[in-house]
Amino acid sequence: MSMLAEYNAGPAPYTSDLWDAVRPRRLGILINPQSGTTQHSLQPLLQILDRYKSAIHRLVVGPKDVSDALAEMAAQQVEVVAVCGGDGTVHAALTALFHASPFTVRPPVVLIAGGTTNMTAADVGMEGKPMRALERLLAWSDGRGPAGRRIRRAILRVDCGPDSTPRFGMFFSAAGIVHVTRVRRATRRQARSGLMRGGLGTAVTVGRYLVGLALGRRVVEPTPIAVRLDGELHGTHNYLALLITTLARLNPGIRPYWGKEDGPLRYTAVSYQPQDLLRAAPSLISGRPSRYLTPEAGYTSRNIHEAVLQVETACALDGQILTSEPSHVLTVSYGGEVDFVRL
């Protein structure tokens, strides 16, 4: 594995201030009609948009749709970009904004929870159902309504190799988290209740795995990963879970990081078969330091600027699988920052 490149320290990942609706703002809205919640409310959303002719909206499904729509919006001098979709749609929008850079000045982003899990929107997006959120957003963009809160966050950049396109997002995962994500997708499709398709179902799935692990069951396979953090080699170990994020909390309210270092990225790793998992779980989920959460016991959390990982299995960014090639090297680093607006 090659040495890490030099890096510049990024800003603090969590800052916010008020942003008044003092004047109309040119608004562009990306809507994914196939996202979990949006597909059930698409027509009412479009009817609302029909009343606001100044807002540009485009239906998007894949990354190319998103990139093309953002390029068109940049040409039409859009000032604020809204995304109504799930975590995958947000990931595609961030990648287009940071990699293709269609805007001369990167616009603020508003997230409407139009997916099923909506982990990113739950942290930095608008509250409420898509139709009500859209109504508030359109009124604000028209110069009316209450002030919004602008939240500046760091963004992850993931490079999968010299010939790959960099990807940008807010939640990178490896090892057992990817396995649980795949299982969760299958259970979500089978769920009959809206609650079980959302955050509650995710909590139940994670809880089952934690109980199984605590009882000594082999519910996921060990994942060997070679880790280098900010130039410091941590060797190759088997991991149960590994994540890197700039989200303040994970849906439904989990905050599994407790590092004190000065870095914009939150890194947490749990070794395979960690000690005292049941006793450590409450502190692990809430991010409260305890005598159980130690590297010697298998729990590590740090604030970093860059991680280089050599992995043998698939990894994911915002729930989207990055690559499943055997023995590949990934670099997860500070990729810049974006202003999110909550109303």
| CATH code, domain with 270 | 2.60.200.40
Burial of 266 (0-12, 13-18, 19+ CB in 10 A): buried
Q: Are residues 133 and 50 in the same domain?
A: yes
Q: Are residues 297 and 323 in the same domain?
A: yes
Q: Cα separation of 25 and 242, whole Å?
A: 40
Q: Are residues 250 and 108 in the same domain?
A: no
Boundary (domain end) residue, out of 146, 167, 195: 146
Side-chain-side CA neighbours of 129 within 13 Å: the count stands at 10
Boundary (domain end) residue, out of 146, 180, 205: 146
CB 140 within 8 A of CB 82: no
Q: Are residues 224 and 322 in the same domain?
A: yes
CB 304 within 8 A of CB 267: yes
* Position 306 confidence tier, pLDDT thresholds 50, 70, 90: very high
- Among the listed ranges 6-15, 42-51, 164-173, which one has the minimum average pLDDT value? 6-15
Q: Is residue 313 part of a domain?
A: yes
The winner for highest mean pLDDT among 66-70, 236-240, 246-250, 313-317 is: 66-70
Q: Cα separation of 47 and 211, whole Å?
A: 46
Q: Describe the chain by its helix, strand, coil percentages, rounded to 5.
A: 30, 30, 40
Instruction: Name the residue among 308, 312, 309 with its Cα closest to residue 326.
Output: 312
Per DSSP bridges, beta strands 328-342 and 232-245 are unpaired
Q: Are residues 28 and 67 in the same domain?
A: yes
Q: Which two structure tokens, joined as six digits, stand for 153?
A: 């966050």
pLDDT of residue 146: 77
* Position 158 confidence tier, pLDDT thresholds 50, 70, 90: very high
Q: Is residue 12 pLDDT above 50, yes or no?
A: no
Q: Are residues 139 and 198 in the same domain?
A: no
Q: Is residue 30 part of a domain?
A: yes
Q: What is the mean pLDDT of residues 99-107?
A: 96
Phi, psi of 119 (to 5 degrees): -65, -40
Instruction: Write the pLDDT tens digit of every residue in 57-82.
Output: 999 999 999 999 999 999 999 999 99
Q: Is residue 180 part of a domain?
A: yes
Q: Structural domain tally of the chain?
A: 2
The winner for highest mean pLDDT among 5-14, 93-102, 181-190, 212-221 is: 93-102
pLDDT of residue 144: 84
DSSP state of 128: S
Side-chain-side CA neighbours of 310 within 13 Å: the count stands at 12
Side-chain-side CA neighbours of 143 within 13 Å: the count stands at 5
pLDDT of residue 2: 32
Q: Is residue 10 part of a domain?
A: no
CB 340 within 8 A of CB 159: no
Q: Which domain holds residue 69?
A: 21-146
CB 134 within 8 A of CB 119: no
Q: Are residues 111 and 89 in the same domain?
A: yes
Q: Are residues 180 and 138 in the same domain?
A: no
pLDDT of residue 3: 29
Q: Are residues 124 and 216 in the same domain?
A: no
CATH number for the domain spanning 36: value is 3.40.50.10330
pLDDT of residue 281: 87
pLDDT of residue 201: 58
Q: Is residue 150 pLDDT above 50, yes or no?
A: yes
Q: Is residue 113 part of a domain?
A: yes
Boundary (domain end) residue, out of 120, 146, 172: 146
Instruction: Write the pLDDT tens digit of every residue in 115-139.
Output: 988 999 999 999 999 999 999 999 9
CB 96 within 8 A of CB 75: no
Q: Is residue 302 pLDDT above 90, yes or no?
A: yes
Q: Are residues 174 and 117 in the same domain?
A: no
Q: Are residues 313 and 194 in the same domain?
A: yes
Question: Average pLDDT, whole number, for the chain?
Answer: 86
Instruction: Write the pLDDT tens digit of every residue in 21-31.
Output: 667 899 999 99
Q: Which two structure tokens, joined as six digits, stand for 40?
A: 């059930």
| Residue labelled with tokens 């090639």 | 325
Instruction: Write the pLDDT tens digit of every residue in 35-57.
Output: 988 988 999 999 999 998 889 99
Residue, of 324 and 343, whose pLDDT is higher: 343
pLDDT of residue 273: 87
pLDDT of residue 11: 42
Strands (E), the chain: 15-19, 27-31, 56-59, 80-85, 109-113, 148-159, 167-169, 171-175, 223-229, 232-245, 265-271, 299-304, 306-311, 316-317, 320-321, 328-342
Q: Are residues 107 and 170 in the same domain?
A: no
Residue, of 145 and 205, whose pLDDT is higher: 145
Instruction: Write the pLDDT tens digit of every residue in 181-216.
Output: 666 565 555 555 554 455 555 566 566 666 666 556
Residue, of 71 and 320, whose pLDDT is higher: 71
Percent of the chain whose predicted confidence (pLDDT) is above 90: 63
